[in-house]
């Protein structure tokens, strides 16, 4: 729940909220009157339990408002307060977004994702949105972007030292993966025999192959003559593989071996394998010069988001009267 709230908090800061008018209870609805208790006000404008519940249902996957903890409900309320303050500040600064801008933005999204109106509507439906509520979200996103440009972006700068530090601390992200070229000798689990007998048969076959390998015979020749795998004719060649491309029990062994080394028999759901690492290829680091713009963009986006949240929660709130009931 906390992780979902954090993600939805970023979405909220981006203006990706249902409009308060859509969340209001219908007049005269007795049940709504009960659940629509005012839980906070911003400059006298109310935020209700109905809005909090609706936000949870729409933005936190699988969450039931009735079972959400009091702590998480407070986080949702805080997000709604910030969103209302951003709306108020936009009006105060005269940051308006016309229908033409919203339509142009949506058309750009459709073009980038190869969507027509029907496909877009289906995609929105899967997210619990209608075209109307999506337009509201888009308007808020554009509005937020304008606020960022006016009040935040000019205050954010990413230094070469910060880029270097991020690169040094995350080198694994900017390296080609380790790979191994692997052969194996495979013995399939015998059919139509009991488990104990099958184990004995597999053990005897593996022992013969292992003895030949210890005697100095080449792995490729033993695989050609003894392996029961479809790759026996190729000397048991599995190929050059990265992590994640082998069964876990085989990968663990293969990536722990030295070049030119063969393993003890390894059990898999299909039988026994003797692995041989023909070649290891260590991952190579991508030069900083190649990825520095990518890192800069990532750090800049993070810094802008942090600054925006700070601006809303620390600066803007001072200019508004927030009362939590």
Tens of pLDDT, residues 253-262: 998 999 999 9
Q: What share of the chain is helix, strand, coil (3-state, %, to 5)?
A: 60, 15, 30
| pLDDT value of residue 10 | 38
Higher pLDDT, 274 or 305: 274
Helices 288-310, 2-13: inter-axial angle, 10-degree rounding: 90
Task: Work out the average pLDDT over 169-188.
Answer: 85
Mean pLDDT value across the chain: 82
Terminal-to-terminal C-alpha distance of the chain = 24
What confidence tier does 150 reach under pLDDT thresholds 50, 70, 90?
A: confident
Q: What is the CATH number of domain 2-154+319-324?
A: 1.10.4030.10
pLDDT of residue 16 exceeding 80:
no
Q: Where are the domains of the chain?
A: 2-154+319-324, 155-174+286-318, 179-281
Query: Could you give the CA distance from residue 89 to residue 79 in angstroms, rounded to a whole number?
Result: 15
Ranges of H-type helices in 14-93: 20-23, 30-35, 49-59, 70-93
Whether 2-154+319-324 and 179-281 share one fold: the answer is no
Tokens read off for 54:
């609706």
What are the Cα distances from residue 251, in Å, to 124, 178, 254, 268, 276?
41, 12, 5, 11, 12
Q: Which CATH number fits domain 179-281: 3.10.50.40, 3.40.50.2000, 1.10.3720.10, 3.40.50.1970?
A: 3.10.50.40
């Amino acid at each position: 729940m906390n992780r979902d709230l954090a993600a939805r908090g970023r979405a909220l800061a981006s203006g990706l909220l249902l409009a308060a008018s859509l969340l209001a209870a219908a007049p005269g609805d007795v049940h709504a009157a009960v659940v629509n208790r005012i839980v906070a006000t911003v400059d006298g404008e109310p935020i209700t339990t109905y809005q909090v519940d609706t936000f949870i249902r729409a933005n936190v996957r699988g969450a039931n408002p009735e079972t959400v903890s009091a702590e998480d409900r407070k986080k949702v309320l805080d997000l709604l307060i910030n969103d209302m303050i951003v709306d108020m500040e936009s009006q105060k600064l005269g940051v308006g977004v016309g229908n033409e801008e919203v339509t142009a933005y949506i058309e750009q999204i459709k073009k980038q994702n190869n969507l027509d109106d029907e496909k877009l509507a289906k995609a929105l439906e899967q997210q619990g949105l209608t075209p109307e509520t999506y337009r509201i979200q888009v308007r808020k996103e554009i509005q937020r972007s304008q606020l960022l440009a006016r009040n935040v972006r000019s205050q954010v700068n990413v230094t070469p030292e910060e880029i270097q530090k991020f690169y040094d601390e995350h080198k694994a992200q900017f390296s080609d993966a380790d790979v191994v070229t692997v052969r194996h000798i495979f013995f399939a689990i015998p059919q139509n025999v009991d488990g104990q007998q099958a184990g004995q048969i597999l053990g005897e076959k593996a022992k013969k192959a292992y003895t030949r390998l210890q005697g100095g015979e080449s792995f490729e020749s033993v695989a050609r003559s003894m392996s029961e795998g479809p790759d026996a004719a190729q000397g048991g060649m599995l190929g050059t593989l990265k992590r994640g491309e082998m069964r876990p029990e085989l990968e663990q062994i293969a990536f722990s071996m030295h070049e030119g080394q063969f393993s003890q028999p390894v059990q898999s759901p299909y039988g026994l394998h003797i692995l041989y690492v023909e070649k290891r290829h260590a991952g190579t680091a991508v030069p900083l010069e190649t990825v520095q713009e990518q890192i800069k963009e990532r750090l800049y986006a993070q810094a802008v988001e942090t600054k925006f949240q700070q601006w809303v929660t620390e600066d803007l709130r001072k200019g508004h009267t927030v009362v939590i009931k």
